[in-house]
Amino acid sequence: MSFRVGSLFSGIGGFDLGAERAGHSIVWQVENDPYCRKVLAKHWPNVPCYGDVHDVGAHNLEEVDVCIGGFPCQPVSVAGKQRAQDDERWLWPEFARIIRELRPRYAIMENVPGLLIRGMGDVLGDLAVLGYDAEWGIISAASVGAPHLRKRIFIVANANGNEQWSWQRSQQSSGDTPGKCISDCGDVAHDVSDSEGSAYGGNIGCGVGGREDKDISEGRQIRGNATDSGGQWAAEPNVRRVAHGISARVDRLRSLGNAIVPQVAEHLFRRIMESEQ
């Protein structure tokens, strides 16, 4: 089974790479940042990439099975002014518009945990009006062996009537609460290590020797045990080339900071495929 995937707010393609690793094809990308567009062109030279999200829709985008994307987090991030809908960078309405126009079977969204208290109501409300059921949970980059937490909320929405998908069923978790789904990061690590082994790098065996972080907004989240050489979590990862021949350290840091870990996206796609089968 292979999905045709459309990528919104593509960045440097972390979501896209995860989808491809799960066996799916990227049909189009939408990204406005010049540096990120260079990276996308390097890795996806045959995939059309559009600029401003306001200029795309059913009139120029091909139909897809899945829409993916992490709409800008600055309006809801604790690192910003937290203006949410009053911030001009609040672009969830454009994501919702494209879902309405293209009607994909699935939509997978990503953002920072601050979305839970600044804007989550808008997102879930709009999806319900559009006829999509949604479940969500927080997954950390440490869940797939990365040496940093990078907690992100992922929302999986499917069109009403397509009831195969359930985060709880796919996670095989008996204690989860509907609408407040908990990602078991030990399960995520096991899932990706089974599928690709050491190809991911990092410490796949997270949860072993780790600790639990308790947070009312996300349920249970286990911190992995990947550390730097001094036994402490690294403040900043070593930044290598994002694409050969493309330099600029500041742009690399910014684009990597905005990107998602591809293995998390791959995990979600594989779960959806399992539920469909």
Sequence spans of domains, the chain: 4-276
Q: What is the pLDDT of residue 151?
A: 87
Per CATH, the number for 4-276 is: 3.40.50.150
Q: What is the pLDDT of residue 251?
A: 85
Q: What is the pLDDT of residue 24?
A: 98
Q: What is the pLDDT of residue 73?
A: 74
Q: What is the dihedral of CA 262, 106, 155, 46, to 10 degrees?
A: 30
**Residue of 160, 100, 165, 89 whose CA lies nearest to 126:** 100
Question: Taking a C-beta distance cutoff of 8 angstroms, is the pair 63, 57 a contact?
Answer: no
Residue type, position 113, single letter: P
Catalytic residue among 67, 73, 181, 185: 73
Residues of the chain with pLDDT under 50: 165, 167, 169-228
Q: What is the pLDDT of residue 35?
A: 92
**Residue of 75, 61, 1 whose CA lies nearest to 29:** 61
**Residue of 95, 72, 68 whose CA lies nearest to 272:** 68
181 noted as active-site residue: no
- What does the pLDDT look like over 39-77, one tens digit per residue? 999 999 999 999 999 999 999 999 999 999 998 876 676
Q: What is the pLDDT of residue 238?
A: 60
Q: What is the pLDDT of residue 253?
A: 80
